[in-house]
C-alpha cells in the first residue's frame, strides 16, 4: 500500500524527576542504547520526510544522542500540545501524516506505526488516529470511548471519568497520528482550561469530533506501549526488550540453552545453527556466523566470529576481535583488536591484544601479548602454525614466524624466524637436599 508522506515528532522534553538522575530520562540506556534511540530506530523504516525531537532547555546531550535528527526546544513546559507546537516551523506546510511519539516509550514497533498510518488513510478519513491498549489493570489510565461503529468519540482522563467510563477496558497509550492538513486547526483550539493549566494533545480528539471529523483507534499490546518513568520500569522494559530479542534469535535459527540469561544488543547478528550457552552478554557491534558455539559466561562486544568457531566458557571478546573459521577461544581468554586465523587455538588464561595470529597457530596457557608500554600500542604478529609455549610474554612490536616454536616461560623481545625454536628464560639451577634443610631450619 502506498502511504502519503510521513513526518514524525518525538516528545522528549520531560525531566524525568522520578529517575532521580542528572541524565535526562530518554537517555537512560535500554539494551545498551538510550531509550530515544530505540524509538528513532523504529521510525527509520518508515522513511519519514521530516523528523524532529522536542527537547527542553539545556538538553544539548539529547541533541547529541539523536543527531543527525534535528531538535527543537519547548521553552515552556506547558503540556503535550504545547510540545507539538514547538515543532510548528517544521510542520506548518506539511500535508502528509504526522506521527507523535514519546521518547520514553521505547518498545513501540514499526509495524504498529504502519498500522496507524494505514488506518489514517482509510475511507472515513480520520483527522486523528490514537493508539490504544487493554491493560490487565486499567488503573488511572485515560479511557478511549468508541462508538458502536468503532469510531473514537473521546478520550476521558480517569479523574474526569464516570464509573461507567472507568469500566471501559480500552486505554490511551498516548501515541497519535494526525492528518497534517488539519493538525494546526486542532492545535490552535486547544486551551489550558484544566486543573494543571496545561495544553493537552488528547483534547484534539474531542475538538475533531465537535468539528465533524472522524477519529479512530488502533490497538497494541500493553508491553509495546509501556512508558518508562522510573528505574523500576526501566528494568521491566529491559526484560521485555530482551525477551523480544531472544525470540527473534531463536526464530532465526539460533539455539539459546537458557534464554532468560542471554542479553543482546539491538544490532547483534547471529547466524544459523549458532548455540549460545547460559549467561552470555552481547554488547554492541557483534556479528556471529553460522555453526558457532558460544559457551557459558562469555562477554562479546565489537567482535566478529566466523563459521564454526568455538568461544568460551568465560571468554571476553573486546572491540576489534576477529575470530576466524573453526578457531578456538577458551576459558579466561581476553582478545582485544586481535585477529585469529582459521583453526587457531587460544584455549586458556591468555590475553591477545593488537595481534594477528596465523592459521592453526597454538597459543599456550598464560601467554600475554605485551602491547602497551604506557604510551603507545604496538603489534604482535604470529605466523601460521606457530606454537607458543605456556606462560610466555611476547613484547610488542615482535614477529613470530610461521611454524616457529616459543619455549614455555619465555619473554620474547626479538623477532623469531620461521620454523625456529626460541627459548628466553633464566638458567635453571638445582640444589640437592636444599628443600629438606629449609624445612628443618623452619622447625627450630
CATH code for the domain of 47: 3.90.550.10
Residue in this structure with the C-alpha cell 552470555, named with its chain if needed: 280
What's the pTM?
0.91
Residue 55's pLDDT band (cuts 50, 70, 90) = very high
Mark whether 76 and 202 lie in a shared domain.
yes
Per-residue pLDDT, averaged over 124-140, amounts to 95
Per-residue pLDDT, averaged over 298-326, amounts to 98
Mark whether 301 and 406 lie in a shared domain.
yes
Residue 4's pLDDT band (cuts 50, 70, 90) = low
What is the structure's pLDDT at 161?
87
Mark whether 288 and 193 lie in a shared domain.
no
Mark whether 92 and 207 lie in a shared domain.
yes
Whether 344 shows a pLDDT value over 80: the answer reads yes
Mark whether 152 and 30 lie in a shared domain.
yes
Whether 292 shows a pLDDT value over 90: the answer reads yes
Per-residue pLDDT, averaged over 28-51, amounts to 97
- Which of 162, 194, 219 corresponds to the end of one domain? 219
Residue in this structure with the C-alpha cell 521510525, named with its chain if needed: 43
Mark whether 272 and 208 lie in a shared domain.
no
Does 430 reside within a domain? no
Per-residue pLDDT, averaged over 355-380, amounts to 97
| Domain ranges, residue 66 | 6-219
Mark whether 172 and 310 lie in a shared domain.
no
How far apart are the C-alpha atoms of 373 and 371, rounded to whole Å? Answer: 7
Mark whether 215 and 258 lie in a shared domain.
no
Question: Mean of the per-residue pLDDT values for the chain?
Answer: 95
Per-residue pLDDT, averaged over 277-289, amounts to 98
Active site residues: 348
Per-residue pLDDT, averaged over 148-168, amounts to 90
Per-residue pLDDT, averaged over 304-322, amounts to 98
Residue 1's pLDDT band (cuts 50, 70, 90) = very low
Residue 15's pLDDT band (cuts 50, 70, 90) = confident
Residue 47's pLDDT band (cuts 50, 70, 90) = very high
Mark whether 104 and 163 lie in a shared domain.
yes
Residue 2's pLDDT band (cuts 50, 70, 90) = very low
Whether 176 shows a pLDDT value over 50: the answer reads yes
Mark whether 113 and 18 lie in a shared domain.
yes
Mark whether 98 and 141 lie in a shared domain.
yes
Whether 115 shows a pLDDT value over 70: the answer reads yes
Q: Looking at residue 293, which CATH number applies to its domain?
A: 2.160.10.10
When divided into structural domains, the chain yields a total of 2
Question: Considering only 111-120, 135-144, 236-245, 249-258, which range has the smallest mean pLDDT?
Answer: 135-144
Amino acid at each position: 500500500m502506498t502511504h502519503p508522506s510521513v513526518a514524525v515528532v518525538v516528545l522528549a522534553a520531560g525531566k524525568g524527576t522520578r529517575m532521580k538522575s542528572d541524565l535526562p530520562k530518554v537517555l537512560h540506556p535500554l539494551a545498551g542504547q538510550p531509550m530515544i534511540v530505540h524509538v528513532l530506530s523504529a521510525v527509520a523504516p518508515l522513511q519519514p520526510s521530516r523528523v524532529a525531537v522536542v527537547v527542553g532547555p539545556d538538553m544539548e546531550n539529547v541533541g547529541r544522542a539523536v543527531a543527525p535528527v534535528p531538535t527543537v526546544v519547548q521553552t515552556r513546559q506547558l503540556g503535550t500540545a504545547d510540545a507539538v507546537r514547538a515543532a510548528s516551523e517544521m510542520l506548518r506546510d506539511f500535508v502528509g501524516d504526522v506521527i507523535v511519539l514519546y521518547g520514553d516509550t521505547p518498545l513501540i514497533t514499526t509495524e504498529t506505526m504502519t498500522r496507524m498510518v494505514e488506518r489514517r488513510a482509510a475511507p472515513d478519513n480520520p483527522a486523528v488516529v490514537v493508539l490504544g491498549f487493554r491493560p490487565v489493570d486499567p488503573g488511572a489510565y485515560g479511557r478511549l470511548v468508541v462508538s458502536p461503529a468503532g469510531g473514537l468519540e473521546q478520550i476521558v482522563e480517569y479523574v474526569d471519568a464516570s464509573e461507567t467510563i472507568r469500566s471501559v477496558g480500552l486505554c490511551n497509550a498516548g501515541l497519535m497520528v494526525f492528518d497534517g492538513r488539519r493538525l494546526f486547526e486542532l492545535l490552535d483550539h486547544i486551551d489550558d482550561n484544566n486543573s494543571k493549566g496545561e495544553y493537552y494533545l488528547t483534547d484534539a480528539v474531542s475538538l475533531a469530533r465537535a468539528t465533524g471529523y472522524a477519529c479512530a483507534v488502533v490497538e497494541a499490546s500493553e508491553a509495546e506501549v509501556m512508558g518508562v518513568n522510573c528505574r523500576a520500569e526501566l528494568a521491566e522494559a529491559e526484560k521485555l526488550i530482551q525477551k523480544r530479542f531472544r525470540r527473534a534469535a531463536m526464530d532465526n535459527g539460533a539455539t539459546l540453552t537458557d534464554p532468560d540469561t542471554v542479553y543482546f544488543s539491538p544490532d547483534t547478528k547471529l547466524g544459523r545453527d549458532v548455540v549460545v550457552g547460559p549467561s552470555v552478554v552481547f554488547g554492541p557491534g557483534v556479528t556471529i556466523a553460522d555453526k558457532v558455539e558460544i559457551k557459558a559466561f562469555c562477554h562479546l562486544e565489537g567482535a566478529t566470529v566466523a563459521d564454526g568457531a568455538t568461544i568460551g566458557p568465560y571468554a571476553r571478546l573486546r572491540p576489534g576481535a576477529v575470530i576466524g573459521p573453526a578457531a578456538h577461544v577458551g576459558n579466561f581468554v581476553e582478545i582485544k583488536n586481535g585477529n585469529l586465523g582459521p583453526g587457531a587455538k587460544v584455549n586458556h588464561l591468555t590475553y591477545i591484544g593488537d595481534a594477528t595470529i596465523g592459521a592453526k597457530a597454538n597459543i599456550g596457557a598464560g601467554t600475554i601479548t605485551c602491547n602497551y608500554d604506557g604510551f603507545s600500542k604496538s603489534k604482535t604478529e604470529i605466523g601460521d602454525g606457530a606454537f607458543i609455549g605456556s606462560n610466555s610474554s611476547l613484547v610488542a612490536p615482535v614477529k613470530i614466524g610461521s611454524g616457529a616454536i616459543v619455549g614455555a616461560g619465555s619473554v620474547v623481545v626479538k623477532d623469531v624466524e620461521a620454523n625456529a625454536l626460541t627459548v628466553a628464560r633464566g638458567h635453571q639451577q638445582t640444589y640437592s637436599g636444599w628443600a629438606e634443610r629449609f624445612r628443618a631450619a623452619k622447625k627450630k
